[in-house]
Amino acid sequence: MFTDLLRKGKELMHGASDGVSNMMSSKFMESFIACSVAIAGCDGDFDDNERKKILNFVAADKSLSRFDKEDIEATISRYSSADNDVCQISALKLVNKIRGLNEREFLMRTLVSLARADGNVDEKEMAFIKAVAVEVELDYKKYTA
């Protein structure tokens, strides 16, 4: 019981109890963008349509849209200019630092939604989503069912 209380206290300190919009930090946004670019580039090519999908996804989400569009575009450019393997490694390093349960769950839900946006989730996208789930210590099946 005391352990549960400590865990809940840690989540509160990380902003997990105040809802998704209050927990977002610039580090979380960078993690999300890096993962989004990595998923979009799984087919070996990151093009303007994929950039637009990410920007539209961010703009449509209340929690994500509060970030500066120029910062988001700069972050997309930085990660999309790298080789996709490098982008994936960088993204996994970033997500490893996400501690709040709500943040980790939100990341998984949004990445799966983004991967499904074109109506087709391929094996490489799913493999990356599984890798993210491992890094954030969540069961990917819960989010991909």
CB 57 within 8 A of CB 129: no
pLDDT tens per residue, the chain (145 residues)?
434 433 444 443 344 334 444 456 888 999 999 999 999 998 888 888 889 989 998 999 888 889 999 999 999 999 999 999 999 999 999 999 898 999 999 999 989 988 888 788 889 999 999 999 999 999 999 998 8
pTM > 0.75: yes or no: yes
CB within 8 Å of 115: residues ≥ 6 apart: 39, 121, 125, 126, 129
pLDDT score at 23: 53
Please report the pLDDT score of residue 41 as a whole number.
92
Domains in the chain (CATH in brackets) are 26-144 (1.10.3680.10)
Backbone dihedral angles phi then psi of residue 117, each to the nearest 5 degrees: -60, -30
Q: What is the pLDDT of residue 7?
A: 46
| pLDDT at residue number 120 | 82
